[in-house]
Amino acid sequence: MLKRHLLFILATFAIVAIYSCKSGSVNLFKAANPHEQYRRKLETAGLDKTAMGSAWINSSLLSLQKALTIGLPYRETGFFGADKVQAVTYKFTATKGQKLTIALAKKPAQTALYLDLWYVSDVSNPKLIASADTLNRVLQHEINDTGTYLIRLQPELLQSVEYTLEITTGPSLAFPTQSKSSKSIGSYWGDGRDNNARKHEGVDIFGTFRSPVVAIADGTVTRVNENNLGGKVVWLRPKGRDYTLYYAHLDQQIATEGQDVKTGDTLGLMGNTGNAKNTPTHLHFGIYTSAGAINPLPFIDPVTKTPANITASLMNLKRTLRTTGRTSLLSTLQSKSAAVSNLSPATVLRINGATGNYYRAELPDGSSGFIPIDGVVQSSKPLRKIKINAQQQQVYNEPDTLAPVKLHLKTGETVSLLGNFNNYQLVSNEQNEVGWIVK
pLDDT, tens digit, 9 for 90 and up, residues 18-61? 333 333 333 444 458 999 999 999 999 999 999 999 999 999 99
Domain carrying residue 215 = 182-300
pLDDT number for residue 183: 82
Same domain for 134 and 20?
Answer: yes
Residue 305 lies in a domain: no
Coil, strand, or helix at residue 283?
strand
Per-residue model confidence as pLDDT tens digits over 395-424: 999 999 999 999 999 999 999 999 999 999
Domain C-terminal end among 251, 278, 300? 300
pLDDT number for residue 337: 67
Per-residue model confidence as pLDDT tens digits over 285-300: 999 999 999 999 999 9
Same domain for 139 and 164?
Answer: yes
Same domain for 160 and 256?
Answer: no
Per-residue model confidence as pLDDT tens digits over 308-340: 999 999 999 999 999 999 999 999 987 766 788
Binning pLDDT at 50, 70 and 90, where does residue 189 land? confident
Residue 309 lies in a domain: no
Residue scoring higher pLDDT (200 or 76): 76
Same domain for 165 and 197?
Answer: no
Per-residue model confidence as pLDDT tens digits over 265-279: 999 999 999 999 989
333: CATH: 2.30.30.40
Contact 351, 318 (CB under 8 A): yes
Which has the closest alpha carbon to 347: 364, 369, 370?
Answer: 364
Per-residue model confidence as pLDDT tens digits over 168-177: 999 999 999 9
Return the half-sphere exposure (C-beta side, CA atoms, 13 A cut-off) of residue 6: 17
Domain C-terminal end among 173, 196, 229? 173
Q: Is 7 a residue whose pLDDT tops 60?
A: no
- Least confident interval from 25-39, 157-171, 216-230, 238-252: 25-39
AA identity, residue 279: T
Secondary structure (DSSP) of 399-412: SSTTSPEEEE--TT
Which has the closest alpha carbon to 431: 412, 411, 409?
Answer: 409
Which has the closest alpha carbon to 265: 223, 216, 299, 220?
Answer: 216
Same domain for 27 and 156?
Answer: yes
Instruction: Give the C-alpha distances (Å, rounded to integers) separating 65 from 42, 113, 250, 362.
Output: 22, 20, 50, 16
pLDDT number for residue 195: 64
Residue 418 lies in a domain: yes
User: Facing residues of 278 across strands?
Assistant: none
Binning pLDDT at 50, 70 and 90, where does residue 3 land? very low
Binning pLDDT at 50, 70 and 90, where does residue 305 land? confident
d(CA 399, CA 414): 19
User: Facing residues of 396 across strands?
Assistant: 405, 436
Same domain for 50 and 105?
Answer: yes
Q: Is 14 a residue whose pLDDT tops 80?
A: no
Residue 77 lies in a domain: yes
Same domain for 196 and 88?
Answer: no
Same domain for 320 and 269?
Answer: no
d(CA 395, CA 146): 51
User: Facing residues of 339 across strands?
Assistant: 330
User: Facing residues of 408 across strands?
Assistant: 394
pLDDT number for residue 29: 40
d(CA 111, CA 355): 22
pLDDT number for residue 338: 77
pLDDT number for residue 21: 39
Instruction: Give the C-alpha distances (Å, rounded to integers) separating 282 from 176, 192, 196, 212.
Output: 11, 17, 21, 11
Q: Is 239 a residue whose pLDDT tops 60?
A: yes
Cα Rg for the chain, rounded, in angstroms?
Answer: 29
Q: Is omega for the bond preceding 73 within 30 degrees of 0, making it cis? A: yes
> Which residues, other chains included, contact 158 with Cβ-Cβ below 8 Å and sequence gap of 6+?
3, 6, 7, 10, 82
pLDDT number for residue 144: 95
Coil, strand, or helix at residue 314?
helix
pLDDT number for residue 336: 67
Per-residue model confidence as pLDDT tens digits over 386-397: 999 999 999 999
Domain count, the chain: 4
Average pLDDT, the chain: 90
pLDDT winner (highest mean) among 1-5, 29-33, 219-223: 219-223
Same domain for 217 and 151?
Answer: no
Binning pLDDT at 50, 70 and 90, where does residue 193 land? low
Same domain for 105 and 36?
Answer: yes
Same domain for 106 and 211?
Answer: no
Per-residue model confidence as pLDDT tens digits over 126-171: 999 999 988 878 999 999 999 999 999 999 999 999 999 999 999 9
